[in-house]
Amino acid sequence: MAHDSNKRLKRKVRNSYIVSTVSIALVLFLLGTVGYLILNAMLATQRMKENVTVYVMLRSDVTDEQTAAIKTNLLKQNAVREAVFVSKAEAAEEFREYAGTDFVEFLRQNPLPDSFEVSLNARSSEKETVRALETQIMQWPGVDEVVYQRNVIEQITSNINKFNLILLLFGGTLLFISLILLNNTIRVTIYSKRYIINTMKLVGATRWFILKPFLGSGILQGIYAGIIASLMFAGMVAGLSEGIPEVRFVAERFQIAVIMGGMLAGGVAISLLFTTFAVNKFIKMPPGRIHMY
């Protein structure tokens, strides 16, 4: 009878250990997936900002020296990533390919000016920065006009800021809820061993002596959970890349490896932290209350 009772107790302990390990793995996978999506959103935001283009139109009487000076000054600006000179002939050819008609032949002249196509850094695509750059460029000799889509820049900036805020709030809320659930799951696992902890206290075992085997088990549990979560995450990334090839996801091995390493480290850290809290709770609990908990 006692043998059957011990087997039943061991089975319950093993099952609770497996359940808590799987729970940690699922939470790590979920957090890693959210982090992966946030990283992709941030990179997409950066690419969107880098696509903002400012066109610097030159006067018809601009000299070669002034053109060279304008390009030099543009490249000196911290906000400017690249400045490409587009001659009036090149601009006419691009317009001809776009419209499908030869307006130069119809007008018998080319009304398009020489210009610079200026690409901005992602961090410099805010509307205030672009306006300040516009004001500065308009003071240079040979510059006729600075053209860019003001409404589009303002809308992009506003939408990106809202989107990033929503993602961060969602990730923070998910992290908070996940930690609470994991704390309860691990506490239930330690609960099944509360009588063992109490017995060790009664025979004079120190706090560290009681805690040490639980910490060792917690480290292994965190490693197992991290490995499971990493394998699930790698499968998800591979599935996204194969199933939705038209969407550009993060494919750099280093970034994916960092996320998977974070899952492994997070699993160990979470398991150790909550195991320590749960074991300390039963160590400090008076012997007479163990059976009432």
pLDDT digits (tens, 9 = 90+) for 249-270: 555 677 788 888 888 898 888 8
The encoded tokens of residue 139 equal 């003071």
Question: In this structure, are residues 14 and 249 in contact, taking their beta carbons and an 8 Å threshold?
Answer: no
Per-residue confidence (pLDDT) for residue 109, from 0 to 100: 62
Spans of the chain, pLDDT less than 70: 1-16, 50, 92, 95-111, 122-126, 150-158, 160-161, 243-252, 287-293
Length of the chain: 293
In sequence order, what are the residues at sequence separation of 6 or more whose Cβ sits closer than 8 angstroms to the Cβ of residue 13?
189, 192, 193
- Neighbouring CB atoms inside 10 A of 67's CB total 16
Q: Tell me which amino acid residue 259 is.
A: I
Contact between 144 and 57 (Cβ < 8 Å): yes
Furthest CA-CA distance within the chain: 106
How many other CB atoms sit within 10 Å of the CB of residue 172?
A: 11
Q: What is the pLDDT of residues 77-99, one digit of tens each?
A: 888 888 888 887 777 677 666 66
Residue 117 three-state SS: strand
Q: What is the pTM of this model?
A: 0.66
CA–CA distance, 293 with 289 (Å, rounded to integer): 6
pLDDT at 2: 47
Q: What is the pLDDT of residue 13?
A: 58
**Hey, what domains does the chain have and what are their CATH numbers?**
2-47+158-292 (no CATH), 53-147 (3.30.70.3040)
